[in-house]
Amino acid sequence: MLFLVQVQAAMERANAIDAGEGPGVTFRRIAERFKPQSFWGNPTRREGIMVVELPTPMDVAELMYALTWFAGKEPTFTPLIQPEIFDEALTKAKRIVQPPK
């Protein structure tokens, strides 16, 4: 499944990263392992953003642990789907319960 993953470093952890070698080395390792479709930094805060295919729950957990340990905060994972999937999901959901009016 495709995910938008956002990670913000805790202030003390971000300062330690910046005082050391910076985030580049770790972000390169993450990119080599998970091969994100895109990988961005937010210039207004210490935040990394990526769009990445994570095929199994194990991949999700592995990336979560790596980012949490690195940043000192848990990342957020937002599942992404093609808009046309909503049509099929809506039709199937209506077989279970009707939406409120």
Residue 5, helix vs strand vs coil: strand
- pLDDT score of 77: 98
Which positions of the chain have pLDDT values less than 70?
none
Looking at the chain, list the stretches that DSSP marks H as alpha helix, in order from N- to C-terminal side. Answer: 11-19, 24-34, 57-71, 84-96
- The domains found in the chain, sorted by start residue, are 2-96 (3.30.70.1060)
Do 6 and 42 meet the contact criterion of CB atoms below 8 Å apart?
no
Neighbouring C-alpha atoms within 13 Å toward the C-beta of 41? 10
Q: What is this structure's pTM?
A: 0.88
pLDDT at position 51 = 98
